[in-house]
Structure 1
Amino acid sequence: MNLPEDHQEALLQKYLDGQCSPDEIATLYSWLLTSDAHRPLLAVMQQDYERIMQERSSVPEEISDRIETRLLQSIQITKEKVIPMRVPFRLTWKIAAAVALLVATGVTMLYTLRKPAGPVTAPPLMAEVMPGTNKAVLTLADGSVVTLDSAGKQVIQQGGTLVKQQNGRLQYAAAGGNAAIGYNTLRVPRGGQFTIVLPDGTQAWLNSASSLRYPTAFSGGNRTVEMEGQGYFEVKQNAKQPFIVKVNSMEVQVLGTSFDIMAYPDEEAVKTTLLTGAVKVRWGKAEKLLHPGEQAAVDNSTGEMSVRATDVAGVTAWKTGFFEFDNANINVIMRQLARWYDIEIDTRNADNRLFGGRINRNLPLSEMLKLLETGGAKFNLEGRRLTVIR
């Protein structure tokens, strides 16, 4: 089917806006079937099309919103490499974002276009596994525990220190000079994330399954905190009092900068990524000075530290609400999903296919798995246990 260029753009725009009639969707599908270059776009539209054809109605707003999310953040899977698609015609920015997906090589996918022959029996409903939210547990120096969540608003008086919670953010007011100093611990569980503003004004974003131990006031010659898991820091500059993050036996020292540390015990390496400023990473007797755009990695099996250039936007995508994969294998991805959705995983039958792309972290788990399955991966979810079939 040959569609004029302006008609191509109009149909795609109407589809994204949720204004296509069933006949227009059928026309769009017929055109997409005419070229292999259209297949990634077709894959994420297929199931929604069949549902709409059964109902013979306009596209509901909630369905069109979900379709747009899937189009704009969908990924494709490759066993060899990820190649950007060539867009054969001029597109507006919104349509280009939907069509310029990642196309896979070495993966066979089948596409069909059909109307249902008769009534379809809906499969049994399973409880949806929702994405993580803002939640944490604050353990004060005296051992008392405060539960924090995305809706909470409270003020905590701790000696001379005032702590305010506003939704998913915890903020410390500077303590007076005579205030006693205690050490608090902020723990973010699996399925959570949280932000804290420390007494010196430094901001820290904690990812799932992470913790930060810190004093209620910084005194002496440095500002030292201890972290587990993953955190992103924007350090308040103070040349007279360096900021130090301790992660196991590693130290990251800064004056004023922004950086990310990923130190989960089940990952292959502890990684420190610098966005701005400069940091020193110390591991045993080794010491490396990082410049913006560089990442220091300490291999958990060999103990060796290396430095390389990296994609800082990809490393910090979690902070802005995305998963970003760059030729990542299934084990790497499943570990991220396990922490964010608070699920158990089994990857014993996983193959060596690689993933590339960016997906919104706010999608339900079922939508996330549908995107991963477009390239041939298969999963079985029972309750909160996810098994990779292939």
Structure 2
Amino acid sequence: MPDHQQRIAYLLARYADKTCSREELDELFSAIGQGDGPEGLEQLLEEIWQARHPAPEIDYEAVYRQIKPAVPVRKTIPLKRIAIAASLLLLAGTAYWLLPSKRTGKQATVLIQPAQRRILPATNKAVLTLSDGTTVPLDSTGKQLIQQGNVAIRQQNGQLLYASQPTDGNIHYNKLTTPRGGQFRLVLPDGTKVWLNSASMLRYPTTFSGKERVVELDGQGYFEIAANAQQPFKVKVRDMEVLVLGTDFDVMAYGDENSVNTTLLTGSILVKEGSTKQLLQPGQQAVIDNQDHQLTVKTADIRKVTAWKNGMFVFNDMALPAILREVARWYDVDIVYKASPGAELYGGGIGRDLQLADVLALLEGNGFNHFGIEGRKVIVLP
């Protein structure tokens, strides 16, 4: 076997044994993703898969759809090659990989009451509150037209779309609120697209007039701003402001987190906290501490920041409490600590389409704590 194929086989074996470092994982994906790689690479991957995990014929298309949002590979790679690689790296067919800094080698034994074996992930659901206080429940399947003055609001395919119409002189403010266990999309009257994560709220006018387009956010939202240099876009989060001309960015502003994080993907934004202002460049993140309100700027982990929008939990040296806060919002559960969380840091990702018990089993198998589920509570155990 040529040296490069031996190296791939070695890296795959390291991953299967959960001894693969984060650098080796990157090397493995890079080797698999080389479009000009050896002719026998696909055959090699298939042989290794059959040797390690004999199974019926794999639905490569389905596996590819699961892993596609999170796998760092080139789009020009042949589909079957990606799918085989995904199958090998996922081992049991689950869209995840975890690389904790400490490993225990123990089996996962999540304690679950029989009635709680199927706590499902979040779905498209929200509540629209009109300016007169009327509330309209929203979900994935609903299709309706809501008339508010001369503003037409259409719900379809798990999102709200506001038709851009001339104002009648009255500006109405609506609120879109997602519960824990929910998410939703919104197209504002100017064409700006917003993705709201679970347990979030966006307040906005039904038409934009004046010198600025201003919305208020609580929770987490991803924004694709419709460019309009004559009318800058502004996102308010309590005492913080994000001033935008035309760009893509994410704001995470949950009250139970340690900071408000604003991450820029494209364009430019100005983050303001009190008298402090900071202009961000693509790939940077502004972090405002919720205690002392100090603003710092660091290089962002874009894959982690946008993972929720792409259907993944992605960790980068994250401690268990931070991971469980995301889990609580997504699955609408409470976290109860009957033991201190382990000190291990997790790296990798888990698909957000899994049931809660599966997510906890993956965390448990790669960490020190056990978990139980009682009603809608996740119990952290020794």
- State the percentage of identical aligned residues: 47
- Tell me the SS of whatever aligns to 1:156: strand
Q: Which has the higher contact order (CA 8 A, sep 6+)?
A: 2
Equivalent AA in structure 2 for residue 388 of structure 1: V
- Tell me the SS of whatever aligns to 2:210: coil
In the superposition, the TM-score normalised over structure 2's length comes to: 0.76
Whole-angstrom distance in 2 between the partners of 1:234 and 1:339: 23
Whole-angstrom distance in 1 between the partners of 2:191 and 2:172: 17
Compute the displacement of 1:110 (Å): 5.0
Q: For structure 1, list consecutive stretches of 5 or more residues without a partner in the other structure.
A: 13-34, 42-57, 76-90, 112-122
* Pairing partner for 1:339 from 326, 329, 338: 329
Aligned to 2:353: 362
Contact 1:296–1:307 under 8 Å retained in 2: yes
Compute the displacement of 1:102 (Å): 4.8
Contact 1:161–1:179 under 8 Å retained in 2: no
After superposition, residues 149-298 of structure 1 pair within 5 angstroms as 149-298=139-288
* Pairing partner for 1:379 from 364, 371, 375: 371
Contact 1:136–1:193 under 8 Å retained in 2: yes
- Tell me the SS of whatever aligns to 1:345: strand
In the superposition, the TM-score normalised over structure 1's length comes to: 0.75
Whole-angstrom distance in 1 between the partners of 2:318 and 2:191: 35
Contact 2:158–2:185 under 8 Å retained in 1: yes
Contact 2:177–2:201 under 8 Å retained in 1: yes
Is 1:95 the counterpart of 2:73? The answer is no
Contact 2:213–2:234 under 8 Å retained in 1: yes
Whole-angstrom distance in 2 between the partners of 1:151 and 1:170: 12
Contact 1:175–1:216 under 8 Å retained in 2: no
Equivalent AA in structure 1 for residue 84 of structure 2: I
- Tell me the SS of whatever aligns to 1:40: coil
Compute the displacement of 1:214 (Å): 0.5
For residues 38-66 of structure 1, give each alpha carbon's deviation from its aligned partner in whole angstroms, at most 9, with x where no partner exists: 3239xxxxxxxxxxxxxxxx8699xx89x
Contact 2:100–2:347 under 8 Å retained in 1: no
After superposition, the Cα gap between the structure-2 partners of 1:160 and 1:103, relative to the gap in structure 1 and judged at 3 Å, is: closer
Is 1:306 the counterpart of 2:284? The answer is no
Compute the displacement of 1:98 (Å): 4.0
Determine which structure has more spread, i.e. the larger CA radius of gyration.
1
Aligned to 2:102: 106
For residues 361-387 of structure 1, give each alpha carbon's deviation from its aligned partner in whole angstroms, at most 9, with x where no partner exists: 111101111111222331011111001
Q: For structure 2, list consecutive stretches of 5 or more residues without a partner in the other structure.
A: 20-54, 71-79, 90-96, 108-112
Whole-angstrom distance in 1 between the partners of 2:153 and 2:353: 28
- Tell me the SS of whatever aligns to 2:322: helix
Equivalent AA in structure 1 for residue 296 of structure 2: S
Aligned length: 320
After superposition, residues 8-23 of structure 1 pair within 5 angstroms as none
For residues 293-333 of structure 1, give each alpha carbon's deviation from its aligned partner in whole angstroms, at most 9, with x where no partner exists: 00000001121000011121210110111111101001100
Whole-angstrom distance in 1 between the partners of 2:114 and 2:207: 54
After superposition, the Cα gap between the structure-2 partners of 1:153 and 1:72, relative to the gap in structure 1 and judged at 3 Å, is: closer
Aligned to 1:86: none
For residues 226-259 of structure 1, give each alpha carbon's deviation from its aligned partner in whole angstroms, at most 9, with x where no partner exists: 1100000011111111100000000000011110
